[in-house]
């Protein structure tokens, strides 16, 4: 059996998707209040960031591409598997190998890091693979992705910095709110694949709700948790952090109006701009916790 080229493997792993969980892990590190220079924590941070992105997230992309190969043949026939650049069952083999590699690396982060990786990988397989295949329901599938990409990565970053201790309730609250908002971010990715999803029985929100309604739902799900974050930061007496997040949200709302006017054409545009503002707000919120001297 012929082997795939390295370029095809790299494309299978979709490096552009690694950024959100790596960023969220970094936010958890910041929110922990523990300097990365303390007690030689730099190696832990480097391993954690690699685990969040090039390992666990990359695994999820490989799993998804393998079980979505028939859908991709309609939506994105140039992808490595439907195009034939990933021959035979190599897509599945790579997904399995990278799952094992991810767990081996996660073991170096102690029980919390290993447990978080197991949970994230389990959700990755449940999202794409039968019999669960959570992505068949846009509500459940996007919730699983949002939880892994933002909340789990944030909490893991905070926990490993604290030697495996459970993060403070305020850190958990912010992680949960930004995970909820990430549900809307995941919906943005579904506008490009409506035809194939509909033909193959994938109930993404644009398929279930229609294009226009799904766009509004995505925007509400992104905006509402950020509004709550602003209120929470004010309650924690962090007015400057709250004002910065409010400004970022205001800019997003302006962009959302343009996105809603033409969702399919502007989903990628909004993903590039609006989501960037969203994740900057995450980091500002993490620094708010850091300023409170949290561990």
**pLDDT tens-digit series, residues 182-210:** 999 999 999 988 988 998 889 999 999 99
Q: Is residue 263 part of a domain?
A: yes
Q: pTM to 2 decimals?
A: 0.93
Q: Report the C-alpha gap between 191 and 188 in whole angstroms.
A: 6
Structural domain total, the chain: 1
Q: Is residue 53 part of a domain?
A: yes
Q: Report the C-alpha gap between 51 and 45 in whole angstroms.
A: 10
Say if CB 137 and CB 203 are below 8 A apart: yes
| 181 has a pLDDT exceeding 80 | yes
pLDDT tens sequence across 17-67: 999 999 999 999 999 988 887 777 889 899 999 999 999 999 999 999 999
User: What pLDDT is attached to residue 1?
Assistant: 56
pLDDT tens sequence across 211-263: 999 999 999 999 999 999 999 999 999 999 999 999 999 999 999 999 999 99
Mean pLDDT in residue range 71-94: 94
Q: Is residue 91 part of a domain?
A: yes
Q: Report the C-alpha gap between 153 and 175 in whole angstroms.
A: 9
Q: Is residue 257 part of a domain?
A: yes
| Residue 37 dihedral angles phi and psi, to the nearest 5° | -85, -5
Which residues lie closer than 8 Å to 104 by C-beta, 6 or more apart? none
Q: Is residue 192 part of a domain?
A: yes
Residue 268 CB neighbours (<10 A): 13
User: What pLDDT is attached to residue 35?
Assistant: 85
User: What pLDDT is attached to residue 295?
Assistant: 34
pLDDT tens sequence across 83-127: 999 999 999 999 999 999 999 999 998 888 899 999 999 999 999
Q: Is residue 116 part of a domain?
A: yes
User: What pLDDT is attached to residue 8?
Assistant: 95
Say if CB 108 and CB 47 are below 8 A apart: yes
DSSP of 3-32, one letter per residue?
---HHHHHHHH-GGGGHHHHHHHHHHHHHT
Instruction: Identify the domain containing residue 188 by its residue range.
Output: 6-291
Mean pLDDT in residue range 256-281: 94
Give SS3 for 224.
helix
| Domain at 59, CATH number | 1.10.600
Q: Is residue 191 part of a domain?
A: yes
User: What pLDDT is attached to residue 247?
Assistant: 98
């Amino acid at each position: 059996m012929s082997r795939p080229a390295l370029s095809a493997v790299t494309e299978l792993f979709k490096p552009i998707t690694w950024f959100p969980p790596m960023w969220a892990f970094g936010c958890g590190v910041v929110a922990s209040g523990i300097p990365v220079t303390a007690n030689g924590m730099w190696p832990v941070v480097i391993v954690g960031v690699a685990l969040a992105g090039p390992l666990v997230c990359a695994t999820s992309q490989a799993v998804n591409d393998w079980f979505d190969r028939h859908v991709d043949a309609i939506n994105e026939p140039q992808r490595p598997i439907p195009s034939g650049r990933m021959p035979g069952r190599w897509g599945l083999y790579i997904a399995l190998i990278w799952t094992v590699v991810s767990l081996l690396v996660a073991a170096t982060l102690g029980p919390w890091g290993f447990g978080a990786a197991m949970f994230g990988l389990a959700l990755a397989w449940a999202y794409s693979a039968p019999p669960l295949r959570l992505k068949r329901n846009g509500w459940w599938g996007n919730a699983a992705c949002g939880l892994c990409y933002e909340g789990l990565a944030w909490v893991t970053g905070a926990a490993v910095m604290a030697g495996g201790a459970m993060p403070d309730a305020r850190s958990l609250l912010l992680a949960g709110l930004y995970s909820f908002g990430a549900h809307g971010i995941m919906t943005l990715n579904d506008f490009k694949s409506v035809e194939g999803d509909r033909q193959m029985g994938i109930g993404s929100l644009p398929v279930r709700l229609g294009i226009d309604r799904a766009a509004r739902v995505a925007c509400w799900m992104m905006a509402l948790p950020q509004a709550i974050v602003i209120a929470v930061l004010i309650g924690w007496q962090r007015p400057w952090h709250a004002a910065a997040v409010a400004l970022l949200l205001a800019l997003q709302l302006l962009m959302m109006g343009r996105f809603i006017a033409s969702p399919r054409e502007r989903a990628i545009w909004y993903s590039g701009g609006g989501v960037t503002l969203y994740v900057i707000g995450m980091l500002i919120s993490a620094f708010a916790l850091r300023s409170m001297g949290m561990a």
